[in-house]
C-alpha cells in the first residue's frame, strides 16, 4: 500500500497554502515564522534515570537510555560503544508503517543488579554491539518511494508528504540524530572504557516517536541529549589485576550512580522552505540573473539555447531575491507542503555540529546563514530549558537524609 | 595528529595546491554507449567515479503500488557501488550500509530538483554510480558524474548541478579536499544548480564554528561554479564534435 497520508484534510492544505503565500506569509497557528513551538521536557520516571519525554507542540517523543557491559570493538579498545535506535512506527501517525526498519525493535536489556562478574568469563555480548550502521534497510526499498518532502508543490500536485517516503525519512532521521549526537562526540566514549580491550559500557539510546506533528528530528535530538545528561550508570570497580580480577558493579544503594560524561549539548533545528514560485522559476530566475550579469555568456549561448529569451522575460517580471519562505519547527501540515528542508545542529558554544540540506528548494546562501543564526538563538533557549529541567530534577531526587549522613562538618561544597 | 602539514604557512596544501585550486579535473561522457542510455566518467584528482544511467524507461509495476505517487514526476533510483579496491583499506561496504543509503537518497533528492520533472511523468530513471577510486570529495564527484551522465542520456534539466567539498583548516577554507584533508579537517559539501548563489545541497558532518560557515560557503560556491564551467566546456566540445559528425 502506498503510505498516503490521509490524516490531513484537503481544505487545510489549501488554507495553509493561501496563508503561506500571502504577503506577509502567515502560519495557521499565527506563530512567527522563526518561532518554535513551546518545548516541554518531562522526566518520565521518578525512580529511573535516563527516561525523558519531549513534547514539541503536538509532537511527542520519548527516549530511554540504557547501558550494559560488553567488550569494546577490536579496533577501538579504549572506547565504549554508543548506539541510537530510532524507529518510526504507526504509533505516531497512521501515515507510517512499521517494519521498514526493524533493526532496533528490540530494546536493550536493563542493567543487571550489582554482581561480581569474573572478567575472563564474560562472553562478549554481540547484541550490545549492534552498531547503528548495521541496518536492515535495503536501498531498493527506497526506489519505489520517489517522493520526498518536496513532493507537494504548492498549488497542486499529488498530496504526498514527508511521511510518504518513510524509508528515506527513517534513514535520514537516524543518520541526522547520529551525526548530531554521536559524530559530534557529545558523549565521551573513552570515559565508557572499563578495562582497555576487554570491558566497556555499551550505551544505547532508544527513541520512540509517540505522536507525529512535524519536526521529529528536533524533538528527538532534544530527547536523546537530555536523556544522556540525565542518565546515571552504576558505579563499577575492578578488583585485583590480571587473571583473577573481578568486575564489581554497585547498585544505587551501595554507591552513587555515575553520570555519563557529556561534552556538549548539540541540538537540531529544522527549517522548512516554501516558495510561491515554481521550481522552474526558482532555478531559472536565478539563472537569468547570473546571465544578465554576464552579458558575454548570453551572446555565447543564445544561438544554441532557446530558453534564454524566456529566462530574460522571467527576470524582468519576477522580483529577484529571496522569494523563499523559511519557517522553523513545522507542523505535520506544514511539513507536508514543504518544498525542502534543512537541519542545522548547533551547541550553545556556537559550534555547528552538522548541517544537512539534501536537495529540495534552492535557497540563497545568505538565507542559509540567517537560518544558522536563528538556529543558534533557538539552541540557546532550548539548552537553558534542558538545564532547567535537569536541575529541577536533581533537586527533587536529593535524598536529604543520606546527604546528611554522608556529609562532613567541613564539607567544602556547603556555603 | 597528522604527520603532514595540511596547510603550510606559505599557503600550500599537502598536494601543493593553493587554497582555492581544484584538483586535476577530467571528465568524459558517453563512455558506455552500449550498456546504458547515458554514462559519464569523472576524475577529480584521485577520486574517480563512473556513472551509468538507464532511462527514462517505463516504471515497472511494483508490488507496493508506489508508482501511483509518480504521476507527475519521474521515479529516480540511485544506487552506489563502492568496490573494495576503491580505498587503500580493502574493506567491502555492504549494500545495506546506512551511510551509502543516505548518500544515495541525498543524490536522488539533489537530482530530482534539477530534472525537468514534468517531461518525465511515469518514468523511471536509474542512476548507478560506481566509485572506482576514492580520495576525498566522494559526494561531489558522484553528483558531478550524475549530472554529466544525465546530460549524456539526453534528460532535460534546468541546469547543471555541480558540487564540491570545502575543508576548513584553522581559519582557511580549502576547496576540493582530498582524503588526507578530510580525515583531519572538518569539511562541507555544497551543491549548486546552475550559476547562481542558491544552494541546493549543503552537507556537513563535522564541527565548524558558526562564524566560519560564511567563508566555507563562499569558497564552495566559487568551486561549484568552476566545476560547472569545466563540465560545460567538455559537454560543449563533445556537442560540437557530434554535430560536425552528423553534418
Domain locations along chain A: 10-263, 273-378
Distance CA A375, CA A378 (A): 5
Distance CA B220, CA A387 (A): 37
Task: Indicate the pairing of strand A232-233 with strand A236-239.
Answer: unpaired
CATH topology classification for A10-263? Ribosomal Protein S5; domain 2 (3.30.230)
Residue A195: closest CA among A233, A238, A250, A138: A238
Report residue B18 as a C-alpha cell. Answer: 593553493
Distance CA A150, CA A364 (A): 17
Q: Which pLDDT belongs to residue A41?
A: 93
Tell which wins on pLDDT, A265 or B195.
A265
φ/ψ region of A360 (left if φ > 0, alpha if ψ in -120 to 50, else beta) reads left
Q: Note whether residue B168 is domain-resident.
A: yes
Which ipTM score applies to this complex?
A: 0.87
Q: Count of A–B CB contacts within 8 Å? A: 194
Please give the C-alpha separations between residue A17 and each of A59, A155, A273, A328, B73, in angstroms, as whole numbers. Answer: 22, 7, 13, 16, 21
Q: Note whether residue B3 is domain-resident.
A: no
Eight-state DSSP code of residue B7: B
Q: What percent of chain A has pLDDT over 70?
A: 64
Residues in A closer than 8 angstroms to B100, CB to CB, are 139
Q: Note whether residue B44 is domain-resident.
A: yes
Do residue A284 and residue B72 have CB atoms under 8 angstroms apart? Answer: no
Compute the 3-state secondary structure of chain B and give helix, strand, coil in percent, each to the nearest 5: 35, 30, 35
Give the tens place of pLDDT for each residue, A85-129.
888 888 877 777 765 543 332 222 222 223 333 333 333 333 333
Give the tens place of pLDDT for each residue, A374-411.
999 999 999 999 999 999 998 888 776 667 676 666 66
Q: Which pLDDT belongs to residue A133?
A: 33
Please give the C-alpha separations between residue A1 and each of A271, B75, B154, in angstroms, as whole numbers. Answer: 30, 17, 33
> Is the Cα dihedral A188, A190, A195, A197 positive or negative?
positive
Residue A50: closest CA among A218, A204, A263: A204
Number of Cα atoms under 13 Å in the Cβ half of residue A255: 14
Q: Which of residues 252-281 of A touch B (CB under 8 A)?
A: 279-280
Do residue A174 and residue B109 have CB atoms under 8 angstroms apart? Answer: no
Q: Which pLDDT belongs to residue A322?
A: 55
Distance CA A106, CA A127 (A): 10
Q: A232: exposed, middle or buried (C-beta count within 10 Å: 0-12, 13-18, 19+)?
A: middle
Q: Which pLDDT belongs to residue A300?
A: 44
Q: Note whether residue B4 is domain-resident.
A: no
Q: Note whether residue B6 is domain-resident.
A: no
Domain count, chain B: 1
Backbone angles phi, psi at A363, to 5 degrees: -125, 140
Q: A191: exposed, middle or buried (C-beta count within 10 Å: 0-12, 13-18, 19+)?
A: middle
A41 close contact with B: CB closer than 8 A: no
Do residue A351 and residue B208 have CB atoms under 8 angstroms apart? Answer: yes
Q: Note whether residue B241 is domain-resident.
A: yes
* Mean pLDDT of all residues belonging to chain A: 72
Report residue B114 as a C-alpha cell. Answer: 534539477
Q: For A291, name the nearest residue in chain B, comparing CA atoms only.
A: B195
Distance CA A212, CA A208 (A): 11
Structural domain for B221, as ranges: 25-246
Residues in B closer than 8 angstroms to A273, CB to CB, are none
- CA A219, chain centre distance (Å): 7
Q: Note whether residue B11 is domain-resident.
A: no
The CATH number covering residue B181 comes to: 3.30.230.70
- pLDDT at A264 > cutoff 50: yes
Give the tens place of pLDDT for each residue, A283-335.
666 444 444 444 444 444 444 444 444 444 444 333 444 577 888 988 887 88
pLDDT band at A148 (very low <50, low <70, confident <90, very high): very low
Average of per-residue pLDDT across B60-75: 58
Do residue B200 and residue A184 have CB atoms under 8 angstroms apart? Answer: no
Q: Cα distance from A148 to chain B (closest Cα, Å)?
A: 7
Q: Note whether residue B77 is domain-resident.
A: yes
Highest averaged pLDDT of the listed ranges A32-36, A248-252, B5-9, B135-139: B135-139
Residue A279: closest CA among B84, B119, B55: B119
**DSSP 3-state of A124:** coil
Amino acid at each position: 500500500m502506498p503510505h498516503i497520508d490521509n490524516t490531513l484534510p484537503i481544505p487545510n492544505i489549501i488554507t495553509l497554502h493561501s496563508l503561506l503565500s500571502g504577503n506577509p506569509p502567515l502560519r495557521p497557528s499565527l506563530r512567527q515564522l522563526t518561532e518554535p513551538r513551546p518545548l516541554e521536557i518531562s522526566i518520565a520516571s521518578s525512580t529511573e534515570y535516563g527516561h525523558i519525554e519531549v513534547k514539541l507542540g503536538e509532537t511527542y517523543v520519548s527516549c530511554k537510555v540504557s547501558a550494559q557491559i560488553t567488550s569494546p570493538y577490536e579496533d577501538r579498545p579504549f572506547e565504549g560503544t554508543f548506539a541510537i535506535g530510532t524507529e518510526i512506527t504507526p504509533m505516531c501517525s497512521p501515515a507510517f508503517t512499521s517494519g521498514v526498519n526493524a533493526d532496533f525493535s528490540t530494546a536493550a536489556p536493563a542493567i543487571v543488579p550489582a554482581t561480581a562478574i569474573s572478567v575472563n568469563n564474560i562472553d562478549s555480548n554481540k547484541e550490545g554491539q549492534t552498531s547503528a550502521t548495521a541496518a536492515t534497510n535495503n536501498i531498493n526499498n527506497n526506489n519505489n518511494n520517489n517522493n520526498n518532502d518536496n513532493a507537494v508543490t504548492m498549488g497542486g500536485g499529488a498530496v504526498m508528504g514527508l511521511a510518504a517516503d518513510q524509508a528515506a525519512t527513517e534513514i535520514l532521521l537516524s543518520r541526522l540524530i547520529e551525526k548530531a549526537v554521536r559524530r559530534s562526540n557529545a558523549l565521551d566514549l573513552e570515559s565508557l572504557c572499563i578495562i582497555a580491550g576487554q570491558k566497556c559500557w555499551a550505551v544505547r539510546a532508544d527513541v520512540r516517536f509517540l505522536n507525529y506533528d512535524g519536526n521529529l528530528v528536533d524533538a528527538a535530538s532534544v530527547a536523546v541529549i537530555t536523556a544522556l545528561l540525565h542518565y546515571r550508570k552504576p558505579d563499577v570497580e575492578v578488583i585485583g589485576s590480571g587473571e583473577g580480577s573481578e568486575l564489581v558493579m554497585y547498585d544505587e544503594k551501595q554507591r552513587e550512580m555515575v553520570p555519563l560524561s557529556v561534552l556538549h549539548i548539540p541540538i537540531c533545528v529544522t527549517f522548512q522552505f516554501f516558495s510561491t514560485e515554481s521550481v522552474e522559476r526558482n532555478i531559472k530566475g536565478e539563472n537569468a540573473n547570473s546571465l544578465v550579469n554576464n552579458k558575454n555568456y548570453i551572446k555565447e549561448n543564445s544561438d544554441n539555447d532557446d530558453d534564454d529569451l524566456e529566462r530574460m522575460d522571467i527576470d524582468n517580471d519576477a522580483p529577484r531575491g529571496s522569494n523563499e519562505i523559511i519557517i522553523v519547527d513545522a507542523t505535520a501540515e506544514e511539513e507536508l507542503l514543504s518544498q525542502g528542508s534543512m537541519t542545522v545542529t548547533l551547541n550553545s558554544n556556537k559550534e555547528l555540529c552538522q548541517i544537512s540540506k539534501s536537495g529540495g528548494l534552492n535557497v540563497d546562501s545568505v538565507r542559509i546563514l540567517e537560518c544558522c543564526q536563528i538556529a543558534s538563538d533557538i539552541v540557546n533557549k532550548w539548552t537553558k530549558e534542558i538545564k532547567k529541567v535537569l536541575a529541577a530534577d536533581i533537586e527533587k531526587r536529593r535524598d536529604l537524609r543520606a546527604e546528611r549522613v554522608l556529609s562532613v562538618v567541613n564539607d567544602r561544597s556547603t556555603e | 595528529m597528522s604527520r603532514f602539514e595540511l596547510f603550510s604557512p606559505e599557503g600550500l596544501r599537502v598536494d601543493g595546491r593553493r587554497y582555492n585550486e581544484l584538483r586535476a579535473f577530467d571528465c568524459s561522457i558517453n563512455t558506455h554507449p552500449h550498456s546504458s542510455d547515458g554514462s559519464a566518467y569523472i576524475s577529480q584528482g584521485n577520486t574517480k567515479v563512473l556513472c551509468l544511467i538507464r532511462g527514462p524507461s517505463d516504471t515497472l509495476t511494483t508490488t507496493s503500488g508506489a508508482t501511483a505517487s509518480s504521476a507527475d514526476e519521474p521515479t529516480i533510483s540511485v544506487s552506489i557501488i563502492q568496490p573494495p579496491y576503491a580505498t587503500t583499506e580493502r574493506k567491502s561496504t555492504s549494500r545495506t550500509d546506512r551511510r551509502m543509503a543516505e548518500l544515495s537518497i541525498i543524490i536522488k533528492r539533489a537530482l530530482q530538483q534539477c530534472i525537468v520533472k514534468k517531461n518525465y511523468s511515469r518514468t523511471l530513471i536509474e542512476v548507478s554510480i560506481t566509485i572506482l577510486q576514492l580520495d576525498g570529495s566522494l559526494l561531489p564527484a558522484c553528483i558531478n558524474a550524475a549530472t554529466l551522465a544525465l546530460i549524456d542520456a539526453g534528460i532535460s534539466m534546468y541546469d547543471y548541478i555541480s558540487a564540491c567539498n570545502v575543508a576548513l583548516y584553522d581559519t582557511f577554507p580549502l576547496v576540493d579536499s582530498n582524503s588526507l584533508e578530510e580525515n583531519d579537517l572538518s569539511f562541507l559539501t555544497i551543491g549548486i544548480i546552475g550559476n547562481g548563489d542558491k544552494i541546493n545541497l549543503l552537507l556537513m558532518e563535522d564541527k565548524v564554528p558558526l562564524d566560519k560557515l560564511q567563508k566555507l560557503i563562499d569558497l564552495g560556491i566559487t568551486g561549484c561554479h568552476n566545476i560547472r564551467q569545466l563540465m560545460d566546456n567538455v559537454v560543449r566540445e563533445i556537442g560540437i564534435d557530434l554535430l560536425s559528425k552528423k553534418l
